[in-house]
């Protein structure tokens, strides 16, 4: 999502991003219906955008990247999915899921056949407004989504054979505790399954809380088992687990901090530590998303106001972050970052500049080296490399 509600004088959270720089959308030159067959060593990359905003896209952007060089090439657009601002892949890789971030929120399933292009399977209502995040439970049977504007989380069943979505099985509204300073209500910003597979955690920016739920694997319902409340006005946005499964890192959008949390896999309890610096200096940088390397040695944070990526060394088995440096992102307002599957490349989706920047990741030091020029993509708010 954009900045926390109420922070920018009542300007709508999606409108605040402003228009894409002139010509950025056209530079991508995506053609509706273009084939998505992959040739040679190239790999697919899907791009989320806003279709309802000036300068935005017309659907899910399709691109290819070279796994040897990181270079991106446009490959078309999948139309028929409104405001697909966040994307997630099923564990088996056969289905893509997108939020439809509108007032009447929905989630859409897209089949990814081995031959031919992506096929939209259909959409289901999330029961809330402005869904901004979704994830697939590791078992592949349930889709979890977070409704930002209405402060709720939803569950949908996934058909095992087709990947299509069934009617919603649960909707939980965050009503306790009350909203934090400057907020008008709860704003669920993320929902993710813990590494233990038994617990689902929902991050709510509006009331400075992370909720832990147990997902019923048969009924698809959520039962709250714990909650962790951050200091008032923190504005938690995105949670990322360390591979150990006993530590997690939380990006706080409003107070411009990162928090290391202890996590109990047995009870699902999250215990936040002290806030620490994002390394961006004075001013608010609206931290957006954290990534942790598979080997658990480095973490990266996207800073939208500072237009940078912060690099941390992970120490003490995941229990400590040590700030190393910040690197200019080469774009404006990095909303989301993602690793390639081999973690050789890091892709940053820059919302205001309408671009995606690619970084080579040094496996030994975690150092980031920018690759080539930014790739133009209309209102780029999510990049999902396969």
Tens of pLDDT, residue by residue, the chain (386 residues): 443 333 222 223 443 333 233 233 333 333 333 333 344 589 999 999 999 999 999 999 999 999 999 999 999 999 999 999 999 999 999 999 999 999 999 999 999 998 889 999 999 999 999 999 999 999 999 999 999 999 999 999 999 999 999 999 999 999 999 898 889 999 999 999 999 999 999 999 999 999 999 999 999 999 999 999 999 999 999 999 999 999 999 999 999 999 999 999 999 999 999 999 999 977 789 999 999 999 999 999 999 999 999 999 999 999 999 999 999 999 999 999 999 999 999 999 999 999 999 999 999 999 999 999 999 999 999 999 99
The angle formed by the CA atoms of residues 188, 193 and 196, to the nearest 5 degrees, is: 145
Distance CA 158, CA 292 (A): 28
Distance CA 349, CA 177 (A): 33
Q: Are 13 and 1 in contact (CB under 8 A)?
A: yes
Task: Provide the total of helices (H) and of strands (E) in the chain, helices listed first.
Answer: 1, 28
Q: Are 316 and 262 in contact (CB under 8 A)?
A: no
The residues, ordered by sequence, that sit 6+ positions from 165 with a Cβ below 8 Å of its Cβ are: 97, 107, 109, 121, 122, 123, 124, 143, 156, 157, 158, 159
Distances (CA, A) of 136 to 78, 157, 336, 376: 21, 10, 18, 29
Q: How many C-beta atoms lie closer than 10 Å to residue 241's C-beta?
A: 22
The residues, ordered by sequence, that sit 6+ positions from 7 with a Cβ below 8 Å of its Cβ are: 182, 254
Distance CA 124, CA 91 (A): 20
Strands 257-264 and 308-315: unpaired
Distance CA 345, CA 369 (A): 9
Helix ranges (DSSP H) in the chain: 24-28
| Intra-chain end-to-end CA distance of the chain, in Å | 23
Helix (H, G, I), strand (E, B) or coil at 251: strand
């Amino acid at each position: 999502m954009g900045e926390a509600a109420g922070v920018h004088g009542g300007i709508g959270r999606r409108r605040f991003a402003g228009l894409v720089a002139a010509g950025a959308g056209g530079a991508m030159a995506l053609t509706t219906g273009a084939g998505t067959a992959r040739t040679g060593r190239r790999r697919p990359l899907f791009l989320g955008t806003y279709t309802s905003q000036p300068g935005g896209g017309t659907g899910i952007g399709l691109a290819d990247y070279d796994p040897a060089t990181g270079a991106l090439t446009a490959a078309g657009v999948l139309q028929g999915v409104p405001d697909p601002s966040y994307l997630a892949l099923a564990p088996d890789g056969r289905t893509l899921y997108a939020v439809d971030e509108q007032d009447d929120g929905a989630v859409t399933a897209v089949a990814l056949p081995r031959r031919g292009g992506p096929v939209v399977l259909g959409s289901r209502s999330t029961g809330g407004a402005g869904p901004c995040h979704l994830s697939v439970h590791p078992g592949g049977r349930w889709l979890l989504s977070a409704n930002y504007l209405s402060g709720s989380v939803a569950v949908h069943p996934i058909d095992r054979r087709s990947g299509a979505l069934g009617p919603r099985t649960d909707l939980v509204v965050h009503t306790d505790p009350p909203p934090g300073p400057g907020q008008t209500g709860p704003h669920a910003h993320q929902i993710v399954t813990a590494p233990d597979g038994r617990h689902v955690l929902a991050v709510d920016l509006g009331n400075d809380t992370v909720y832990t739920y147990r997902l019923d694997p048969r009924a698809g319902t959520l039962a709250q088992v714990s909650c962790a409340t951050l200091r008032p006005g923190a504005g938690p946005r995105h949670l990322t687990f360390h591979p150990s499964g006993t530590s997690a890192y939380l990006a706080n959008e409003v107070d411009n901090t990162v928090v290391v949390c202890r996590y109990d896999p047995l009870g699902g309890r999250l215990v936040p530590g002290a806030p620490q610096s994002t390394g961006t200096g004075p001013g608010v940088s609206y931290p957006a998303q954290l990534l942790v390397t598979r080997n658990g040695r480095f973490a990266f944070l996207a800073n939208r106001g500072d237009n940078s990526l912060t690099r941390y060394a992970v120490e003490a088995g995941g229990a400590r972050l040590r700030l190393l440096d910040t690197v200019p992102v080469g774009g404006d307002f990095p909303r989301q970052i993602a690793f390639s599957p081999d973690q050789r490349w890091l892709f940053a989706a820059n919302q205001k500049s309408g671009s995606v920047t690619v970084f080579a990741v040094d496996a030994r030091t975690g150092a980031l080296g920018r690759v080539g020029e930014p790739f133009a993509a209309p209102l780029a708010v999510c990049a999902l490399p396969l």
